[in-house]
Amino acid sequence: MTRADYVIGVDGGGTHARARLCDGHGAVLGEGQGGPGNIRLGQAVAWANVNAAIDEALGAAGLSRDVLRRTSIALGLAGIVEEDDGPAMLAAGPDFLRAVAVSDGEIACLGAWGGGDGAILITGTGSAAYAIVNGIGRPMFGWGFQVDDKGSAAALGRAAIKWALEARDGLIDDTDFTRAVRDRIGGRPSAMVGWITAARPRDFGGLAPMVIEAARAEDAAACAIIARAAHDIARMIDRLVEVGAVRVCLMGGMAAHIGPWLPASVRSRLEAPQGDALAGAILLSRRLAAPNVQDADGEYHVARG
């Protein structure tokens, strides 16, 4: 089988897509960035943004799109949920020598543990996990804001509003924090209803810093909300260990804030990641680039049960 001359890795999240171009030996030739790569925006939009990132990387290396037919690419894209999603996305894109599209969680996990076994739990605006056990990948949690996103910034913000409104209705005690949350979303009933009705996960997530700050000031409601998020994170970490993850890393913007609230027994299981998601995409792309070369870590498969 032909060995690819070039290797591209793409990390396509909900906010932007990043691409890294390497030669066949892994030396970085160029990098680029584009808009969101989430396939839920539609394949055309996702490809436009991914292509923009690729073109920028090619430009930085002084190369044209002609080389893509000699290139191996691995795309890690938000919104890829099932095995069908990756091939469908690839069919809508340019021709490469070899290509694979997996979830952004999968390349993050590959990057974190250098392609070996382990799990990641990401808590940013939302939350999700990915575990690789005996070389088999498995996405977990992360079903979306309406029913999940436990331990995320959006969950913290939503809980803050719930508590603030329960306090207003007298179901629980009011605190400086619950009053401040009501003021933040408009204070008057109609303003609050309007805010809540229009709010997206990132809007709820925008209240997370208030919760963190109030918890530092030992506000009872804010402490209870973070403690609950930490409890949820701990449950998920325990479950990742239970399914066989030999090491777990807590990533994302909320990790540093919720980490200190975790029980010591859970915290002690956490390790720092070895690399980022783009490193994971490059790793996957390099394996694809030379498929007849036996990888020291063994083969990597994805199972979705």
Residue 253 half-sphere exposure toward CB, CA atoms < 13 A: 13
> Rule CB under 8 A: is residue 263 a binding residue for its own copies?
no
Residues 229/266, Cβ–Cβ less than 8 Å? no
Does residue 184 bind its own copies (CB under 8 A)?
no
Single out the residue of 192, 233, 237, 284 in contact with its own copies (rule: CB under 8 A): 192
- Regarding 134 and contact with its own copies (CB under 8 A), the answer is no
Question: Which range touches its own copies (CB under 8 A), out of 16-24, 193-201, 207-215, 283-291?
Answer: 193-201
Q: With CB under 8 A as the contact rule, which of the stretches 93-101, 146-154, 264-272, 273-281 interacts with its own copies?
A: 146-154
User: What is the identity of the amino acid at 286?
Assistant: R
Look at phi and psi of residue 144 and say left if phi exceeds 0, alpha if psi is from -120 to 50, else beta.
left
Helix extents (H) in 115-188: 153-168, 176-184
**Per CB under 8 A, 40 contacts its own copies:** yes
Backbone angles phi, psi at 192, to 5 degrees: -65, -45
Q: Does 202 bind its own copies (CB under 8 A)?
A: no
Q: Which of residues 88-127 bind its own copies (CB under 8 A)?
A: none
Q: Does the footprint of its own copies cover residue 197 (CB under 8 A)? A: yes
170 is a contact residue toward its own copies (CB under 8 A): yes
The encoded tokens of residue 127 equal 């939350």
Distances (CA, A) of 164 to 48, 126, 205: 42, 21, 15
- DSSP string for residues in 37-55: --GGG-HHHHHHHHHHHHH
Of 80, 16, 88, give the one whose Cα is nearest residue 52.
Answer: 16
Judged by CB under 8 A, does residue 140 bind its own copies?
Answer: yes
Residue 77's DSSP bridge partners are 12, 103
> Out of 188, 209, 216, 303, which residue is the one contacting its own copies (CB under 8 A)?
188
Nearer to its own copies, 90 or 165 (CB): 165
- Select 18 or 150, whichever has its Cβ closest to its own copies: 150
When the beta carbons of 39 and 68 are compared against its own copies, the nearer one is 39
Query: Which residue, 208, 214, 229, is CA-closest to 174?
Result: 214
Q: How far apart are CA 96 and CA 193, in angstroms?
A: 50
Q: Counting contacts by CB under 8 A, is residue 44 touching its own copies?
A: no
Looking at the Cβ atoms of 54 and 100, the one nearer to its own copies is 100
Query: Which is nearer to its own copies, 134 or 294 (by Cβ)?
Result: 134
Who's near 268: CB < 8 A, 6+ residues apart?
Answer: none
Q: Give the residue with the Cβ less far from its own copies, 51 or 175.
A: 175
- Judged by beta carbon, residue 62 or residue 305, the one nearer its own copies is 305
Q: Are 122 and 111 in contact (CB under 8 A)?
A: no
Count of residues of this chain found to bind its own copies when the rule CB under 8 A is applied: 34
Does residue number 141 form part of the binding site for its own copies (CB under 8 A)?
yes
The answer to the question of residue 196 lying near its own copies (CB under 8 A) is yes
Which positions lie near its own copies, rule CB under 8 A? 40, 81-82, 84-85, 139-141, 143-144, 146-148, 158, 161-162, 165, 169-171, 188-190, 192-193, 196-197, 199, 235-236, 239, 242-243, 304
